[in-house]
Amino acid sequence: MVLAQEKKKDSIIDKPERPAFESATLIDNATNVLFNKNTLEVMMQHRFGEINGGTNDLAGFWGASNIRIALSYALHDRLTVGFGTTKEGRLQDFNWKAGLLNQTRSGKIPISVTYYGNFTIDARPNNKFYTKQDRYSYFHQIIFARRFSPNFSLQIVPSISHFNTVESYMENDRIAIAFGGRAKISSQTSILFDYSQPITSFGTDPDFPNISYNNPGLSLGIEFGTSSHTFQLFLSNLRGIVPQQNYMKNTNDFFDGDFLIGFNITRNYNF
């Protein structure tokens, strides 16, 4: 009887740890969250105009906005595929996420490891692209996440972005790393931060030498969650929503006042 009880206890404490985050997205980057098989996630992401973008735009609310609407479906407990469409650039992204390693409650496996990637098509009908391949971009990242306690989680996220066609002062690939975290302040409310740092450096546009494409991304926000949906409200200097747009083409400096208000809304349906 004693041995049987010990085996039962071990089997309980060595189960996978609960997800480190509430949502599959931490403001601008993916998290290690994967949903149960046959779960459909519906997401709307909205970025208002920059707060300092004009003298009569009501803190960016009347300025030009960027919007993405997306669906993701869990084919397996460890595999999700999705599609999204973004207003700015008419970007059509096909994305996927796979769980590689799960943190365990016993601590035997101390972190979760997850892979996220996408393939994106720029669907603008202009003559900027000479071939259809010029419209393509790709993104890959590995998410290392840890749930330190029910109230505090962190993740480290190295990534690589690739555009088939870029300006002459840029490179086709950019390596970057992101750091993000969540701290719960109540049963349904959390404080969020998300910081993205480019590692590969680009030159400057000769026509606009004061504009830098090497600025880091910084987002600070608050999250409200329930069993089926989450709402994130935040300040960010990242206007793009598809991740390679943010990593490759961000020109905003958060500490120079170049930030905007944004929100993410997700709703899950279980089939």
Q: List the domain boundaries for the chain.
A: 16-270
Residues with pLDDT less than 70, the chain = 1-13, 53-56, 58, 127
Q: What is the pLDDT of residues 135-154, one digit of tens each?
A: 999 999 999 999 999 999 99
Cα(111)–Cα(139) distance, integer angstroms: 23
What are the two backbone dihedrals, phi and then psi, of residue 186, each rounded to the nearest 5 degrees?
A: -160, 180
CB atoms within 10 A of CB 33: 22
What confidence score (pLDDT) does residue 56 get?
A: 64
Q: What is the CATH number of domain 16-270?
A: 2.40.160.40
Q: What whole-number percentage of the chain has pLDDT above 70?
A: 93
Query: What pLDDT does residue 233 have?
Result: 97
* pLDDT of the residue at 100: 96
C-alpha torsion 230→184→21→38, nearest 10:
-40
